[in-house]
Structure 1
């Protein structure tokens, strides 16, 4: 694994945790998620005139991805309404690395060495240590189900976009057109919620919009990374975002316990080293 690849994925992990924190702290999460989708659209407009259209083979995957992201946003709104960032986020992301690696093996025939598999399992174990409070009544059953629903959409869109970006012929083309298509989410959310949109403070709207720019950059980095390495490895390294989410939860939202998060972060770090050595 190259230093460049590691920096790309870790940067994406931090940015992903950051925009989830913005959603968690929002007063009106539906409007904030709409502003995030709008940020994706504006992000795409910067590049739309400089990239070719993606190959036709990638179009079905792009359509599927926008539908899956629609469900993903819906589940995020429910999950963060019910529980803490430092619990919902880890549960949602917990099993994704292993499930994506299994899916990548079955769908695109990727093969990972045993050391990488141990690392993926280690990453997932560390993430679930962070989330163990969810299974000790810190979260309601509905909140756990919402978090698992988020995780399920993560697995599906990771596999769909991982294949789609490779078929597109140009990673930036796929990313740009995928983000542009999120205008459909904006048009679905805002016209029927004009009063709520007007009631939001300008600062909150701007923060949501910037969350979209951050989110777009994070996902673009992940899709780019998928052209450099196996999907299972990208997913596992990207899930280190739970460390950043745990730290943000502790420092920004005053969540705890801190000791659990530090220990779990060490377990995740060990998994990252094993994945890197097994690449």
Structure 2
């Protein structure tokens, strides 16, 4: 296994892990705000002690776009996890993003797809269609009206694809992975704050009081997963990178079982088809 594949698989496990932790929490918007605050603190400490490694690079516009996409991703992730089970929502988010990235990558960025990879894309699309209908959420959302009608996992998939492509462009133009992630996180952080409705300070305090250990674990895993992912992306092409990173779909289904979510056989089959498609896309 080459270094980029090892980095991307490690990132996949860490990513599914912190998503699973977030799924177990009650106030997902406030929890993700606290967890990403932890991630920002880790980056800040890195800036202090490893300043020589934080060459900023020149592609500021791509770093800003990455941060905007990250912010929208975190918010729609919280809503997706409130709307559906981990295994189902995660498969749609990651699989949908992979299709989006492959379309852009092969159309505009010169990446080519083999027949096996094309078959993989078809499997991914078929799997997420199976997972999406007739309804994204079996559990009634805490919100009512238009909110419940929006397939948030699909919306989240778009923003995942957005930050993936933006990160790739930033790295392609010379950005250093950790500094790039630091800029993106600073930009994305306010998105989570404004996604918290009502008594923001009180909701955050409740998370700190009751779920601080979870927040520290999730924030640390998120930080590691993104930074490792960026190092893997730096030495690979975007379609391959997001495909192998989506081995996290298998981990998410496993965590879904551990969380004792009642996935149906059709949902499990759909998630596994998405995962199998991801494997073919990585070949």
- Structure 1 residues 187 and 248 mapped into 2: Cα distance closer, same or farther (>3 Å)? closer
1:164 corresponds to which residue? 170
RMSD: 3.0
Report Cα offsets for 1:183-202 as digits up to 9, x if no partner.
54576578x62222223353
Report Cα offsets for 1:88-121 as digits up to 9, x if no partner.
2222222222220111123322223333333343
Alignment of 1:98-137 (within 5 A): 98-126=99-127, 129=130, 131=131, 135=135
Structure 1: 5+ residue stretches without partners: none
Report Cα offsets for 1:243-279 as digits up to 9, x if no partner.
111111112133323x5566556545644554454xx
Deviates more, 1:205-214 or 1:267-276: 267-276
Q: Is the contact between residue 88 and residue 144 of structure 1 (CA under 8 Å) also seen in structure 2? A: no
In 1, the alpha carbon distance for the partners of 2:54 and 2:101 equals 29
Q: Is the contact between residue 110 and residue 230 of structure 1 (CA under 8 Å) also seen in structure 2? A: yes
TM, length-normalised to structure 2 = 0.82
Q: How many residues align?
A: 273
2:6 corresponds to which residue? 7
1:51 corresponds to which residue? 53
Q: Is the contact between residue 93 and residue 156 of structure 2 (CA under 8 Å) also seen in structure 1? A: yes
- Structure 1 residues 225 and 125 mapped into 2: Cα distance closer, same or farther (>3 Å)? farther
Q: Is the contact between residue 124 and residue 275 of structure 2 (CA under 8 Å) also seen in structure 1? A: yes
TM, length-normalised to structure 1 = 0.83
Q: Is the contact between residue 249 and residue 275 of structure 2 (CA under 8 Å) also seen in structure 1? A: no
In 1, the alpha carbon distance for the partners of 2:109 and 2:7 equals 23
Q: Is the contact between residue 87 and residue 133 of structure 1 (CA under 8 Å) also seen in structure 2? A: no
Alignment of 1:1-279 (within 5 A): 2-48=1-47, 49-56=51-58, 58-126=59-127, 129=130, 131=131, 135=135, 138=138, 142=148, 145-185=151-191, 193-200=200-207, 202-257=209-264, 259-260=265-266, 263=269, 267=273, 270-271=276-277, 274-277=280-283
